[in-house]
Amino acid sequence: MLGRMPNWFMALRLNGRKLAEEVEKRLQHEILVGLAKVDRPPGLAVLRVGDDPASGVYVANKEKACARIGVRSFGTHLPSGTTIDELLSKIHSLNKDENIDGILLQLPLPNKMEEGPLLAAIDPEKDADGLHTLNLGRLLKGEKGPRSCTPAGVMALLSRYQIPIEGKKAVVVGRSILVGQPMALMLQAANATVTIAHSRTRDLSGLTKEADLLIVAAGQPRMIRTEHVRPGAVVVDVGIHRLPCENPSNQIKGKLCGDVLAEEVEPLVSALTPVPGGVGPMTVAMLLVNTVSRWQQHCGLSFTLGDLLP
């Protein structure tokens, strides 16, 4: 898979939409099997604060995904003026609710509200996003637990397409707690040799050109171009941005793009994730995997999803 490829080689598109559908089917089946033994379905509580429109769309997508596979969603939408104490008390009541297996705090929060204490208040055993300090520590130590959804989705996609990781040089662009850092840990656990790049990295293209496997989560639209990529590399584009529309008067939304200039890079690489339809759907699928696996654990059912949690 990796190595120099002739110019006419068309990159393999790592289809996250298709894999997310396969994962959903499998989860739907696991829920039906479990419901023969226990009397309640898995439950996910999505806590949204304020009226950020993008968050509204993300929350609606997550709730639709829950409905498709038989997870009960307990949406809670609080006004932007909600205090930290009110939110903490809401989180504590969700922690105690026996019908809820996963809790997710939709970010960003309004009014520069600090997310740290709220994420820390979520019961780590109900941490659907895998972002609790204990669960990040479990990832670091190679212990089982909920995993950060986006990097776990990337690992599932690489595994599905049998992209070799062991012994490969991986470069992760971005060091956020949400994506870059857990991504690097997961690749390292899969025996890649991993380098993390960030905004202070010197000679970024010199570094990324070394990569057999390049994961880009920089939040910079179309920044990765041919000069950053080694021919034949596998490139995973985590970024998601909406470009301004060409004619604002016709009210059609601008196109989505990633952190990679796909038109330029695609003819050069051996595999690439499209945007949209690559990492995005896998993030939602892994949220469901975390929730259903927590349900299996809370209800004393057999744990059957270990292969999807890196």
Q: Tell me which residues are annotated as active site.
A: 62, 106, 129
Distance separating alpha carbons of residues 196 and 220, to the nearest angstrom? 16
Could you give the maximum distance between any two Cα atoms of the chain, in Å? Answer: 60
Shortest distance, position 200 Cβ to ligand NDP, whole Å: 5
Shortest distance, position 130 Cβ to ligand NDP, whole Å: 12
Span interacting with ligand NDP, options 21-29, 64-72, 247-255, 277-285, rule CB under 6 A: 277-285
Of 28, 52, 53, whose CA–CA distance to 41 is shortest?
28
Binding of ligand NDP at residue 273 (CB under 6 A)? no
Binding of ligand NDP at residue 218 (CB under 6 A)? yes
For 207-240, b where at least 16 C-beta lie within 10 A, e where not — what string? Answer: bbbebbbbbbbbbebbbbeeebbbbbbbbbbbbb
Span interacting with ligand NDP, options 3-11, 72-80, 134-142, 214-222, rule CB under 6 A: 214-222
Shortest distance, position 19 Cβ to ligand NDP, whole Å: 13
What are the backbone dihedrals phi and psi of residue 105, each rounded to the nearest 5 degrees, phi first?
-100, 115
Span interacting with ligand NDP, options 2-10, 80-88, 191-199, 301-309, rule CB under 6 A: 191-199
Distance separating alpha carbons of residues 239 and 221, to the nearest angstrom? 7
Contact residue for ligand NDP among 131, 178, 184, 187 (CB under 6 A): 178
Contact residue for ligand NDP among 93, 99, 133, 199 (CB under 6 A): 199
Binding of ligand NDP at residue 148 (CB under 6 A)? no
Single-letter amino acid, residue 212:
D
Shortest distance, position 196 Cβ to ligand NDP, whole Å: 8
Binding of ligand NDP at residue 61 (CB under 6 A)? no
The pairing of beta strand 256-257 with beta strand 271-272? unpaired
- Looking from the CA of 204 toward its CB, the CA atoms found within 13 Å total 18
Distances (CA, A) of 211 to 6, 192, 207, 234: 18, 11, 7, 8
Number of amino acids touching ligand NDP (CB under 6 A): 25
Q: In the complex with ligand NDP, which residue's Cβ is closer, 165 or 179?
A: 179
Binding site for ligand NDP (CB under 6 A): 150, 173-176, 178-180, 197-201, 204, 217-220, 223, 238-240, 279-280, 283
